[in-house]
Amino acid sequence: MPYLFTSESVSEGHPDKVADQISDALIDNFLAFDPESKVACETLVTTGQVVLAGEVKSKAYLDVQTIARDVIKKIGYTKSEYMFEANSCGVLSAIHEQSQDINQGVDKKKKEEQGAGDQGMMFGYATNETDDYMPLALDLAHKILIELADLRRENKQIKYLRPDAKSQVTLEYDDNNNPVRIDAIVVSTQHDDFDTEEKMLEKIKKDIVSILIPRVKKKYAKFAHLFNDKIQYHINPTGKFVIGGPHGDTGLTGRKIIVDTYGGKGAHGGGAFSGKDPSKVDRSAAYATRHIAKNLVAAGVANEVLVQVSYAIGVAQPMGIYINTYGTAKVDMHDGEIAKIVEGIFDMRPYFIEQRLKLRNPIYSETASYGHMGRKNEVVTKEFKTPDGKVKKVKVELFTWEKLDYVAKVKKAFNIK
């Protein structure tokens, strides 16, 4: 029987995402100047105020205020009427040294024996629904907001946009679990004040439907057939949305974990990513399980795969690996048998995850908005400044967990031609 499935996304200007981006900018700066840094950094943003808190063990010294202000400026909070502005907001730091009780469980004499930074379970997921092996509803929700942010920065076709925004996409699937049409699209975008609310609602809805959606459709040509005249559009359904961002709603690091991952598909272990260095398996193992799931699907093991790994704090070897192919396996094996083979291909001890995916590099700012998964793997050069103004350039590879570099090994292990 056909069914509906919905995923949401939030923009880089959403208060929770502002917090995530500041936390990950701090991670990147610590790793740029000391790759062995251990960091757990939380950010709170509200009207005119940023609060930084967390634990750090690092040789690097940072100007955390400047880093936070640079992130806020890049996002677009640069006007006093937003009541949260890069140059004038207060930045309070309550960052202190990491607990030695935690550190002794992670750092070991032999690096390969590095223990997990915490207990817990992490999940990775992949589906052949899209070219980037991501669920389509979430992919579309992200694309809508990325395009909306481009329109805001261009400031040509739509000139009233402010940084805060949310989107939601509902898809209809057929009996074979294939998406057949878009049922509904929700877009709520912060905007400048209008003369009247009636004029405002009419203008925003017209611009979203006639300018934004055609741009998304053009860039997402493979799924253009899913767009139709019967889509239910809910554009700024509450009405006026002038007060937004951290002034409208307090933001905290780690509150958008489903937006960050798979939009409600698969599963989630509950641990957030942003603000954590890769010794925290909440982050590194979630990336590693995504890497496994994506390579399994790309190799033809199954059409859809969920991978779970779990750890005890201070212990290197995971408690176990679980695989669920949702009945889509193309190999003549039970999911438990698939899991045993996966254990032999991918070393899931924390140190080896860090090495395999090059996680001790400053690669995290780019993950902090529009999803950590399904992104483009590329090499870039980034610049970082010390408090005394010295510039350090670092060449890094982004989104290494999105690489299909294990497909050949997976095919060989499963005897797939």
Residue 101 annotated as binding? no
Q: What is the mean pLDDT of the chain?
A: 95
DSSP conformation class of 86: T
Alpha helices in 80-135 (DSSP H): 100-106
Q: What's the start-to-end Cα distance of the chain, in Å? A: 34
The pair of structure tokens assigned to 92 is 């309070």
pLDDT over 70 at 65, yes or no: yes
Query: Across-strand partners of 211?
Result: none
Domains 3-10+136-246 and 120-128+278-414 in one fold? yes
Between the alpha carbon of residue 108 and those of residues 6, 105, 262, 263, 280, the distances in Å are 44, 7, 34, 37, 15
Residue 63 annotated as binding? no
Residue 164 annotated as binding? yes
**Does residue 250 contact residue 15 with C-beta atoms inside 8 Å?**
yes
Residue 98 annotated as binding? yes
Residue 267 annotated as binding? no
Predicted local confidence at residue 393, as pLDDT: 97
Q: Which top CATH class is 120-128+278-414?
A: alpha beta
Residue 166 annotated as binding? yes
The pair of structure tokens assigned to 139 is 């992919």
Residue 241 annotated as binding? yes
Which SS3 state, helix, strand or coil, does residue 325 take? coil
pLDDT range class, residue 117, cuts 50, 70, 90: confident
Residue 215 annotated as binding? no
Predicted local confidence at residue 115, as pLDDT: 85
Residue 14 annotated as binding? yes
Domain ranges of the chain: 3-10+136-246, 120-128+278-414
Q: Determine the average pLDDT of the residues in 385-413.
A: 96
pLDDT tens digit sequence for 304-350: 999 999 999 989 999 999 999 999 999 999 999 999 999 999 999 99
Question: Which CATH number among 3.30.300.10, 1.10.3210.10, 3.90.1150.10, 2.170.130.10 corresponds to the domain 3-10+136-246?
Answer: 3.30.300.10
Residue 55 annotated as binding? yes
pLDDT tens digit sequence for 261-290: 999 999 999 999 999 999 999 999 999 999
DSSP conformation class of 274: T
Residue 16 annotated as binding? yes
Q: Which of 98-102, 108-112, 115-119 has the highest mean pLDDT?
A: 115-119
**Does residue 116 contact residue 350 with C-beta atoms inside 8 Å?**
yes
Residue 249 annotated as binding? yes
**What pTM was computed for the model?**
0.96
Residue 116 annotated as binding? no
Between the alpha carbon of residue 298 and those of residues 36, 126, 138, 379, 401, the distances in Å are 33, 9, 19, 22, 13
Residue 165 annotated as binding? yes
Residue 42 annotated as binding? yes
